[in-house]
Structure 1
Amino acid sequence: MIARSWALIAVLYTFASTSVVADSTIEHAIRTAAESELQKPTVVGLSVAVGKGDQVVYAEGFGAANIETGEEVSASTKMRVGSVSKVFTTALLGKLYEGGKLDLDAPVETYVPAFPQKRWPVSLRQMAAHMGGIRHYRGDEFLNTHYYPTVTEGIEMFIHDPLIFEPGTQVQYSSHAWNLISAALEGAGGDSFLTMMDEQVFGEIGMQDTMAEDITKPLSDLSAFHVNDDGTPVIAPFVDNSYKWAGGGFIGTASDMVCFGLAHTKAGFLKQETLDLLFKEQHTNDSQPAGFGIGWMTAGNMRGRLKRDGLTDYLPVVHDHLVWHSGGSMGGVALLLVDTEHDIAVGLLANHGQAFPALMRVGLEALQAALASN
């Protein structure tokens, strides 16, 4: 199979205009859904992109990038991708695994000597499916304002705490587990995490507008972020996400998210056997499905989410080959849907912390329209 030239995908769309539209079915479905969601007080601005095959076929912004200035969202507006950062990090994990630099089942201290001995050993494979017993945020950590210049300094926030359960016996979501994984990737790859991400993931795929939200560096076209105050959207509190690049600290555009998704629908950026490994659902020690592969959420996980949220009308679009991830950060949310069989990716970003239900509805409408137009 001929590998795709992923860096060229980036030139298949342009940010000179607000939208890139190649299919009226997709355009109509997204615009109708987005305009409906913008009537709600928890939706300030949205950015939506759809990709099919090797191309971003639609990219458009809706609403305000800043509630105070009225600046509009465009396709080039960057927003926080939150925990979609975890699948970005998974791509680097895949690269190092393919290079023979990483044993997913080795104890994490193999790559992070500073990790203190725990009651039980914990592996990267377990942490990648949220079965490692590493705790999630505690107290006001989500509101962190301290700058951590290195990954090693950032993980000091939690690595001395005991595991909260025996690895492999439970599934409990943990962003800190992914921050620890990024430290392991540094140990395995022999370079800084952000340098490897820039060179081996973002650079190779052509994600020119995706980067760490580093407050010490200038960031162009970055949206403001919002929360509600007595039912009214206001600018969100300042946070510094340097402690969690891998767990939720990157920013980017919906189109870059789609480029990333399309790079995972066929072999090229990664080998097919690596993609199969990343997407295969893991199980607990007693054979219960985890809802995660390596980093990626599974179709079964999505079906469960739709049933819980009363969105069962969308169940027919959730094929077994759907992989995805959502993201939530201070004042922003994100959603990436990737249909690996039909070569479709849908990326969505919003600049309000309570807008995730809107992203689910718009995203599923977009996926449904993209499948219908195939």
Structure 2
Amino acid sequence: MMKTRQLKISELLRKGMLPITLILLIFSSCSTKKPNSRVVLNKQYKDEILAGREDLKMHLITASTTGISVAVSIDGEMVWSEGMGYADKEVLAPAKPETKFRIGRTTHMLTAMLIAKLQEEGKLNVQDSFYKYIPEFPKKQFDFNLYQLGVYSAGFNEDELSKLATHEEYINLKEYIQSQATDTLAYPPNEYYAVSDYGMAMLGILAEDITETNFAKLMKETILDTLGLHETVIDNPLLITENRAAPYYQNYIAQVVNAPAIDLRYCAPAHGYLSTADDLNKLGQAILKAGFFSQESLDLFFTKNVLNNGFETNRGFGWWISEDMAGRKIYVQAGSTVGGSSMLAVYPEQKLVVSLCANISDDLGQLPGQKIANTFLAKIDPRKQPEEPVSKEEKPTSNE
């Protein structure tokens, strides 16, 4: 039918019988219209959303953030999804739910999830030595296993890829791993713990080795596509990526400027992904109960590691495990890198998931995720904050 219509238009044009204004109307009606941004505003939570908007506005001002997006879901239903500020300030492109931001260390949980799925498939065991799978890796002074890499107690020092990101000598993940392969461990495994990007990258190279598949392809096939996280992609600076946020940072006089060009693909398992607040929220919903992940994997993520001296850390496999002031359990991951930051907070008992992304680093942990979560918790699970402990002198005496 479209072909017939085009033939008729061509014939009329040839005969000079079609006014130019009518031609424009016809072709504009044939063009594909871009759908509106998918903002979600659930009226049931109107007051909470309005309060959350004020928190976002304040963050844009106080943290000099250019653009930010938020997603809140309760019991698997998205109740708020919105962007604020600019995804690209130079062209005044607004931040939207579909805006893709650099998520920094939040990438760690993706790598942990990939390892857990490979364990479910029988391809590895996290309690095995790293050398069982890559025996040619230079021997350290202590042995360490995959679990210790995932809970940051394998003996590697804390490192900041946000400061290394402009290094051009690392072409790929393998070269980055080789750069520190001969270094000695900083401490005996499980005697101490320190968040290590390099340790998470080692899990990534191991996954590549045992599956003989590129890390990005393996992550896409095993985790992202299966969960429908189609907006979570490798941050490839060479590709045109739809809805990618422009990255910014603050210079030495606290002026917001364009972030330097970087290529994070060499550290993909630790810092190398773009995502949206919506996608991170979907991921948070996926760990609220066994389903995509087995109960064994959920226990792996959310059981706190205990060091050799009996000290219980706040680290699970790729996750931070905590409680708020009212005693509610929280599973958290957050990340900051050059030109981007993110956080994901999951309240498993309340089935509340809050996610945020921004296009500037958040080294001080200022993203207002906790404030927004508290506002919604006041509605769905109101609890009194613990009272100040009564001193011995003020403690009431018994009549007995």
TM range (shorter): 0.7 to 0.9
What's the counterpart of residue 5 of structure 1? none
Structure 2 CA distance for partners of 1:295 and 1:79, relative to 1, 3 Å: same
In structure 2, relative to structure 1, the CA distance for the partners of 1:157 and 1:277 (3 Å cut) is: same
- Report if aligned partners of 1:25, 1:373 keep a CA contact under 8 Å in 2: no
In structure 2, stretches of 5+ residues that fail to align are 1-33, 381-400
Alignment of 1:1-374 (within 5 A): 16-17=36-37, 19-22=39-42, 23-40=45-62, 42-137=64-159, 141-146=164-169, 148-149=171-172, 151-229=173-251, 230-299=253-322, 315-316=325-326, 319-320=328-329, 322-354=330-362, 357-359=365-367, 362-374=368-380
Gapped runs of 5+ residues in structure 1?
1-13, 304-314
CA distance in 1, matches of 2:82, 2:269: 27
1:364 to partner: Cα distance: 1.3
Distance 1:147 1:74, change over 3 A: farther
Deviation at 1:273, TM superposition (A): 2.6
Q: Which moved more, 1:252-261 or 1:99-108?
A: 99-108
In 2: Cα distance, 1:274 partner to 1:291 partner: 17
One-letter identity of the residue aligned with 1:351? N
Write the letter of the residue equivalent to 1:107. S
Letter in 2 for 1:19: V
Cα distance in 2 for residues equivalent to 1:37 and 1:141: 27
**CA deviations over 1:272-313 (Å, ceiling 9, x no partner):** 23202210000111011222011110115xx6xxxxxxxxxx
How far the C-alpha of 1:41 sits from its partner, in A, is 5.0
Alignment check: 8 A CA contact 1:331 1:351 kept: yes
Count of paired positions: 343
Q: Distance in 1 between matches of 2:314 and 2:81?
A: 29
Q: Separation in 2 of the partners of 1:137 and 1:15?
A: 42
Contact 2:104–2:340 (CA under 8 A) maintained in structure 1:
yes
Could you say if the C-alpha distance between residues 216 and 110 of structure 1 is closer, same or farther in structure 2, counting changes exceeding 3 Å?
Answer: farther
Deviation >6 Å, runs of 4+ = none
Q: Kindly name which structure, 1 or 2, has the bigger radius of gyration based on alpha carbons.
A: 2
Deviation of 1:211 (Å): 0.9
Deviations 1:12-41, CA, capped at 9 Å, x for gaps:
xx9832621113133112101111222225
Residue 307 of structure 1: aligned partner: none
What SS does the corresponding residue of 1:336 show, helix, strand or coil? Answer: strand
The worse-fitting range, judged by mean Cα deviation, of 183-192 and 165-174 is: 183-192
Identity value in percent: 26
Structure 1 25/268 Cα, relative in aligned 2: closer, same or farther at 3 Å? Answer: farther
TM-score after normalising by structure 1: 0.86
Counterpart AA for 1:286: N
Q: CA contact under 8 A between 1:18 and 1:61: conserved in structure 2?
A: no
Q: Distance in 1 between matches of 2:217 and 2:364?
A: 30
**TM-score normalised per structure 2:** 0.81
Q: CA deviation at 1:57?
A: 2.1
Q: Secondary structure at the match of 2:288?
A: coil
Farther-moved stretch of structure 1 (189-198 vs 205-214)? 189-198
Contact 1:112 1:183 in 2 (8 A): no
Alpha-carbon spacing, 1:16–1:110, altered in 2? closer, same or farther (3 Å): farther
Distance 2:243 2:270 in 1: 23
> For the Cα contact (< 8 Å) 2:237–2:262, is it kept in 1?
no
Structure-2 separation of matches of 1:135 and 1:214: 27
Q: Distance in 2 between matches of 1:263 and 1:51?
A: 12
Measure the CA separation in 2 of the matches of 1:41 and 1:172: 27
Distance of aligned partners of 1:319 and 1:122 in 2 relative to their CA distance in 1, 3 Å threshold: same
* 2:388 aligned residue: none
Contact 1:64 1:70 survives alignment (8 Å): yes
RMSD: 2.1
Cα shift readout 1:64-86 (whole Å, capped 9, x = no counterpart): 22233332211111001111101
Larger relative contact order (Cα-Cα within 8 Å, sequence gap ≥ 6): 1
Distance 2:257 2:63 in 1: 10
